[in-house]
Structure 1
């Protein structure tokens, strides 16, 4: 078997590949961000390779990818493992559920944690035939992985890139929470449906907080289309009041425009989320659900708090729409109401299982609607 090194031409959607004792670790945020703001949650989220994939052409009949996963588990709660999707000439050939790897098990009742170590995981796909083929190996969106070795029985070459780069930033929903597999998170579903775009997914669970360093990352990134989906994390972390939120959004957009003055840019407000529509955060785990071995979220603020400037999703959407209205001289800035992707009526047929995140079917629904409204003819990202 031939061993192919992991390079930036081969690994797409990552900012950097960090050498480790096992191989390389893909990072979605550059090292300067990780040094400047080493927040444990942010570091865990950016190291989960949501939207990151290997893309190559080969005549190989057999391909093996060796990875070493690492994850956080919660005692008493059954959470699905990450998966690796192998796409051959546009069709799903293998969906491989991870096993082994390291895990940190956390007790949500006591806050205590226990570390466990485990072996590497090998993803193998064979009987591919000897003809030339395009292969994409999408890494798990919800577990950290070291890339250890890529083996095949014929040489590999990096695949041709899409004609456009789409940079997207958002919260855990954009990261892929509750999606079944890496090609089923809604930004990836959009990129695959459109077909000619290279996705860089900056969806970061719990970390879409209008952080200035994220705006600088987007500013400095190659991009032919940019979307930023902001609001839910600001509410469920109770991070800002209205007075601070509006100028922060303006500053975020100003920084992006420093590097991309005319690139189509879509500002997306939150999808419908009943617990926070009229009730501020902070959000919290529902203790009754935890006692029953389930995860659900609740809002702990009071609706009356909005009068003091505390943020709800209704307030956020009005503020974001007004920001875009006040920047009317920017002809390439567009507003998309998140309820056009998932609204109150959808909640009846597709309720959010944990009160906050969409399930696999709803990720597909959001992806279809984003494609129709943004990439289709007449949309901001149309050809």
Structure 2
């Protein structure tokens, strides 16, 4: 077996890397942005490698990826399954594996406090791969912070150059991050990217699509051929601002992105259908009344408080106004065209907030058709 240390040249879908005591940690925000992060939730979310993958050419039939995952536990909630590593051969899903061991981060949903317990490295094993020259991708667990150590193989590996396809940069909430998806290529952005043959950079951050200026600057400074921004639901969840602040904040976010991408096709996507907050403001609170984790909205309408209905109307107005001012490459997509009342009736949100794995497949297929298909705003 040949041992190859994992270096940044093997990684795709990240914006930065950090050398830790045990390995290489991919980040989805650059160091400058990470220094501006005001809470642990975003710090954890951006370090979880949703959409990040190793990519290389090889004739190897056996691979072993050594890593230190950081797994999560929530008191009162059943144990979460180990994160999945998806292996693709020439773009085709071929194998899956998990890594035992690793660190454990315990999160108290009521207080937000976290405790980290360190654990040993582990290994994801892949065998029986085709004995020919091929491109291999290993997509990392989308909700497990992962320190990468080394890759063992029975043949040499060669890094694949970055951006061999059109580069799609997407920003959104936990739904874009991949909540409830069971494996990393089962998140809706990954499904849409694979269907359209795009090079994905996923800046979906659980609970943290909050119009942060440092996120806008990260998008501004990242090369991209296509950009989409799914905005709104986290602002309602957190009851973070009122309508008076929301409009200017969206304009400011778009202004910053346009500073770096003046003519790049840019799609603003409003929230999916979610009865919990269609007309009821946040903040959200965890609810264990049914014996499983669900959520409930605790706000009272009025006073400029944001709901999903208010958000959609304001986003549509903002995009229309900016297009009228001359931004011909800016577009709007109502999130209910991806998952609306009909989809909810057939496949309700399991925790009242996040879509099921099957709904991720529906959303990904629809986004690929509506955004990237013929006549779509991001048509490729």
Moved more, 96-105 or 111-120: 111-120
How big is the shift at 1:102?
A: 1.1
CA offsets 1:249-305 (integer angstroms, 9 cap, x no match): 01111111111000000000000000000000001111413xx2x110110012xx2
Q: What is the total number of aligned residue pairs between the two structures? A: 376
Could you say what secondary structure the match of 2:327 adopts? Answer: coil
Query: 1:148 Cα shift?
Result: 1.1
Distance across 1 between alignment mates of 2:118 and 2:256: 42
Q: What is the CA distance between 1:97 and its match in structure 2?
A: 2.9
Partner of 1:377: 374
| Contact preservation (8 Å) 2:96, 2:126 | no
Q: How does 1:13-162 map to 2 (within 5 A)?
A: 13-78=13-78, 79-108=80-109, 115-160=116-161, 161-162=163-164
Aligned to 2:294: 296
Q: Does the Cα contact within 8 Å between 2:5 and 2:149 map onto a contact in 1? A: no
For 2:240 and 2:356, the matched residues in 1 are separated by 26
What is the correspondence of 1:1-383 to structure 2 with a 5 Å cutoff? 1-78=1-78, 79-108=80-109, 115-160=116-161, 161-195=163-197, 197-289=198-290, 292=291, 294-302=292-300, 305-306=301-302, 308-328=303-323, 329-383=326-380
Name the SS of the counterpart of 2:8 in structure 1: coil
**Offset of 1:113 from its aligned partner?**
5.7
Report the alpha carbon displacement of residue 380 of structure 1 after superposing the two structures with TM: 1.3
Structure 2 residue ranges without an equivalent (≥5):
none
Q: CA deviation at 1:136?
A: 0.5
8 A contact 2:7–2:24 mirrored in 1: no
For residues 324 and 129 of structure 1, do their structure 2 counterparts lie closer, same or farther at Cα, with a shift above 3 Å needed?
closer
SS of the equivalent of 1:370 reads helix
Q: State the distance in 2 between where 1:51 and 1:113 align.
A: 25
> What is the CA distance between 1:105 and its match in structure 2?
2.6
Q: Distance in 2 between matches of 1:111 and 1:33?
A: 22
Could you tell which deviates more after superposition, 75-84 or 317-326? 75-84
Q: Scaled by the length of structure 2, what TM-score is found? A: 0.96
SS at match of 1:9: helix
Cα distance in 2 for partners of 1:48, 1:227 equals 20
| TM-score, reference length from structure 1 | 0.95
* Cα offset, 1:108, TM superposition: 4.5
Q: Which runs of 5+ in 1 are unaligned?
A: none
What is the DSSP-based 3-state SS (H/G/I as helix, E as strand, rest coil) of the residue aligned with 2:35?
helix
Q: Do 2:72 and 2:107's aligned partners in 1 also have CA atoms closer than 8 Å?
A: yes
Higher mean Cα deviation, 223-232 or 16-25?
16-25
Contact 2:266 2:330 in 1 (8 A): yes
